[in-house]
Amino acid sequence: EKFCLLPDQDAFFTFLNILCKHGNIEEAEEFMFLNKKFFPLVTEGFNIILNGWCNIAVDIVEAKRVWREMSKCCILPNGMSYTHLISCFAKVRNLFDSLRLCDEMKKRGFQPGIEVYNSLAYVLASEDCLKESLTILNKMKEAGLYPDSTTYNNIIIPLCGDMKLEEARMVLAMMIEDNVSPTIDTYHAFLTGASL
């Protein structure tokens, strides 16, 4: 506006992203609705807001509200929408809803990406389902995706937090065997687990 240029949708989404990344998620959502005359409500805009509540604020109540709001506005969720919500449910250790949403995602024709598998690996390990968490690694490989350091750390960190260091060492050995280098987070988890 200052330079008499008409903002385009990319600039609008960038602005929403910036607001969310700096914790101004409510303001971003309000701005999106205030400008719906110029920029019609679409899945991508809602995904930015959903990402803010799911991955920046990790507020499951607000994330669910935005999900319902999408439905009220006749906006269909896409694969990224599911990815954000599954991530949020996993972070708050809600195993049932994480798995339910993943099944729903597949039924709607969206293939889970590495972020979804990483979230499932975390929530399963957090809820004492190590065997099932390791099964996720095989499912990833079958889907043509390869576990990365985040995948392994998402299993190792909860194990170390629960002082299951032997199991965590086993996962670390698998990580190295798969040519995935441990990160500072990996070592930090072991140090934290050992000091508990």
Per-residue pLDDT reduced to its tens digit, 127-169:
999 999 999 999 999 999 999 999 999 999 999 999 999 999 9
Judge whether residue 77 has pLDDT over 70. yes
Query: Residue 3: what pLDDT?
Result: 55
Q: Which residues contact residue 133 at a Cβ distance below 8 angstroms, ignoring those fewer than 6 apart?
A: 120, 121, 124, 125, 155
The structure's pTM equals: 0.92
Torsional class of 180: left (φ above 0), alpha (ψ -120 to 50), beta (otherwise): beta
Torsional class of 74: left (φ above 0), alpha (ψ -120 to 50), beta (otherwise): left
What proportion of the chain, given as a percentage, has pLDDT over 70? 96
Radius of gyration of the chain (CA): 19
Kindly state the average pLDDT of the residues 92-103.
Answer: 97
Phi, psi of 53 (to 5 degrees): -70, -35
Per-residue pLDDT reduced to its tens digit, 31-66:
999 999 989 999 999 999 999 999 999 999 999 999
Judge whether residue 6 has pLDDT over 70. no
Query: Residue 31: what pLDDT?
Result: 96
Query: Residue 194: what pLDDT?
Result: 86
Phi, psi of 36 (to 5 degrees): -65, -20
Judge whether residue 1 has pLDDT over 70. no
Query: Residue 195: what pLDDT?
Result: 84
Length of the chain: 196
Judge whether residue 184 has pLDDT over 60. yes
In the chain, which ranges are E strands?
none
- Mean per-residue pLDDT of the chain: 95
Query: Residue 8: what pLDDT?
Result: 86
Q: What is the rounded CA–CA span in Å between residue 21 and residue 177?
A: 36
Spatial contact of 53 and 19, defined as CB atoms under 8 Å apart: no
Give the type of residue at 100: R
